Amino acid sequence: MVIAEELAKKQKAISIAEFFEKNRQILGFDSSPRSLLTSVKEAVDNALDACEESGILPDIFIKLESKSKDSVTLIVEDNGPGIVKEQIPRVFAKLLYGSRFHSVKQSRGQQGIGISAAILYSQLTSGRPAKILSKIDKDAPAHYFELLINTQTNEPEIVADRITDWDRLRGTRIELEMNASYIKGRRQSVYEYLKDTAIVNPHARIKLIEPDNNQIIFERATDKMPIQPKEILPHPRGIELGTLMKMLRYTQSKDLDSFLRSSFSKIGPQTAKEISKKAGLLPETDPKEVMHDEAKRLHGAFSKAKILAPATDCLSPITEELIRKGLEKEHKIDFIETVTRPAGVHNGHPFQVEAGIAYGGNLPKEDKVEILRFANRVPLLYQQGACAITHGVENIKWRTYSLDQPGGSLPIGPAIILVHLASTHIPFTSESKEAIADVPEVVAEIELALKEVARHLKSYLSRQDKLILRREKEEIIQKILPRIATKVGEILERPTPDIMPVVAKIMGNVFIQRMVKQNGNGCIVEIRIKNHGDGVHHFNLHETLTFQISSPSPEPKIIQIGEQTDHIWKVSLKAGEQKVLVYKLNIGIEEASKLPQLIAEGIDEELITVAKMVNI
> Are 241 and 213 in a shared domain?
no
Taking the CB of residue 286, how many other CB atoms lie within 10 A of it? Answer: 14
Q: How far apart are CA 534 and CA 143, in angstroms?
A: 73
Q: Tell me whether strands 171-179 and 349-359 are parallel, antiparallel or unpaired.
A: unpaired
Q: How far apart are CA 424 and CA 309, in angstroms?
A: 14
**CATH code of the domain in which 248 resides:** 1.10.8.50
**127-131, 358-362, 429-433: which range is least confident on average?**
429-433
The single-letter DSSP state of residue 104 is B
Task: Specify the number of domains making up the chain.
Answer: 4
> Are 533 and 566 in a shared domain?
yes
The single-letter DSSP state of residue 521 is T
> Are 440 and 507 in a shared domain?
no
> Which pLDDT score, from 0 to 100, does residue 385 have?
87
Read off φ and ψ for residue 163, nearest 5 degrees: -90, 140
Answer yes or no: is pLDDT of 336 > 60: yes
Average pLDDT in the chain: 85
**CATH code of the domain in which 35 resides:** 3.30.565.10
> Which pLDDT score, from 0 to 100, does residue 218 have?
92
Answer yes or no: is pLDDT of 97 > 80: no
> Are 525 and 401 in a shared domain?
no
Answer yes or no: is pLDDT of 305 > 90: no
Q: Tell me whether strands 215-218 and 205-209 are parallel, antiparallel or unpaired.
A: antiparallel
3-state helix/strand/coil string of 24-79: HHHHCCCCHHHHHHHHHHHHHHHHHHHHHHCCCCCEEEEEEEEEECCEEEEEEEEC
The single-letter DSSP state of residue 230 is P
> Are 84 and 182 in a shared domain?
yes
Among 462, 486, 521, identify where a domain stops: 462
Determine contact, residues 316/229, Cβ cutoff 8 Å: yes
> Which pLDDT score, from 0 to 100, does residue 17 have?
63
> Are 112 and 213 in a shared domain?
yes
Answer yes or no: is pLDDT of 504 > 80: no
Continuous segment of H or E residues that includes residue 367? none
> Which pLDDT score, from 0 to 100, does residue 541 have?
92
Q: How far apart are CA 169 and CA 209, in angstroms?
A: 22
Q: How far apart are CA 293 and CA 280, in angstroms?
A: 11
Taking only the tens place, the pLDDT of each residue in 161-174 is 999 989 889 999 99
Distance of CA 532 to the CA centre of its chain: 42
The whole-number average pLDDT for the span 477-496 is 74
Q: How far apart are CA 402 and CA 399, in angstroms?
A: 5
The whole-number average pLDDT for the span 85-106 is 70
Determine contact, residues 254/354, Cβ cutoff 8 Å: no
- Nearest 5°: the CA angle 370, 374, 379 is 80
Answer yes or no: is pLDDT of 303 > 90: no
Q: How far apart are CA 452 and CA 448, in angstroms?
A: 6
489 in a structural domain: no
> Which pLDDT score, from 0 to 100, does residue 56 have?
92
> Are 93 and 38 in a shared domain?
yes
Say which residues have a Cβ less than 8 Å from residue 313's Cβ, sequence separation at least 6.
229, 230, 232
Taking only the tens place, the pLDDT of each residue in 340-371 is 998 888 877 888 999 999 998 888 888 888 99
579 in a structural domain: yes
pLDDT band at 131 (very low <50, low <70, confident <90, very high): very high
Determine contact, residues 549/514, Cβ cutoff 8 Å: no
> Are 458 and 520 in a shared domain?
no
The single-letter DSSP state of residue 240 is -
Continuous segment of H or E residues that includes residue 435? none
> Which pLDDT score, from 0 to 100, does residue 449 have?
94
84 in a structural domain: yes
470 in a structural domain: no
Q: What is the CA radius of gyration of the chain?
A: 33
Answer yes or no: is pLDDT of 465 > 90: no
> Are 363 and 268 in a shared domain?
no
Residue 422: strand pairing partners: 352
Taking only the tens place, the pLDDT of each residue in 233-261 is 878 877 788 888 888 888 889 988 899 88
> Which pLDDT score, from 0 to 100, does residue 6 have?
67
Q: How far apart are CA 394 and CA 411, in angstroms?
A: 8
CB neighbour burial string for 223-246, b if at least 16 within 10 angstroms, e if fewer: eeebeebeebbbbbbbbeeeebbe
Q: Tell me whether strands 557-561 and 537-545 are parallel, antiparallel or unpaired.
A: unpaired
* Positions of E strands within 117-267: 130-135, 142-150, 155-164, 171-179, 205-209, 215-218
* Residue type, position 127, single letter: G
Largest distance between two CA atoms of the chain: 126
**128-132, 189-193, 563-567, 602-606: which range is least confident on average?**
602-606
Q: Tell me whether strands 171-179 and 71-78 are parallel, antiparallel or unpaired.
A: antiparallel
pLDDT band at 577 (very low <50, low <70, confident <90, very high): very high
469 in a structural domain: no
**CATH code of the domain in which 445 resides:** 3.30.230.10
The single-letter DSSP state of residue 281 is -
> Which pLDDT score, from 0 to 100, does residue 145 have?
92
Q: How far apart are CA 141 and CA 164, in angstroms?
A: 7
> Are 260 and 353 in a shared domain?
no
Continuous segment of H or E residues that includes residue 379? strand 378-380
The single-letter DSSP state of residue 140 is S
> Are 212 and 241 in a shared domain?
no
> Are 288 and 336 in a shared domain?
no
Answer yes or no: is pLDDT of 378 > 70: yes
pLDDT band at 99 (very low <50, low <70, confident <90, very high): very low
Answer yes or no: is pLDDT of 224 > 90: no
Answer yes or no: is pLDDT of 112 > 60: no
> Which pLDDT score, from 0 to 100, does residue 113 have?
67
Residues of the domain holding 358: 332-462
107 in a structural domain: yes
Taking only the tens place, the pLDDT of each residue in 447-464 is 999 999 999 999 888 877
What angle do helix axes 190-200 and 320-330 make, rounded to 10 degrees? Answer: 140
Q: How far apart are CA 450 and CA 371, in angstroms?
A: 12
Distance of CA 48 to the CA centre of its chain: 14
Query: Could you tell me what percent of the chain has a pLDDT over 70?
Result: 90
Q: Which of 268, 426, 233 is nearest to 347 (CA)?
A: 426
The whole-number average pLDDT for the span 115-123 is 85
Say which residues have a Cβ less than 8 Å from residue 480's Cβ, sequence separation at least 6.
none
Query: Could you tell me what percent of the chain has a pLDDT over 90?
Result: 28
The single-letter DSSP state of residue 232 is B
> Which pLDDT score, from 0 to 100, does residue 101 have?
45
Determine contact, residues 109/94, Cβ cutoff 8 Å: no
Determine contact, residues 147/176, Cβ cutoff 8 Å: no
The single-letter DSSP state of residue 576 is T
Q: How far apart are CA 261 and CA 275, in angstroms?
A: 11
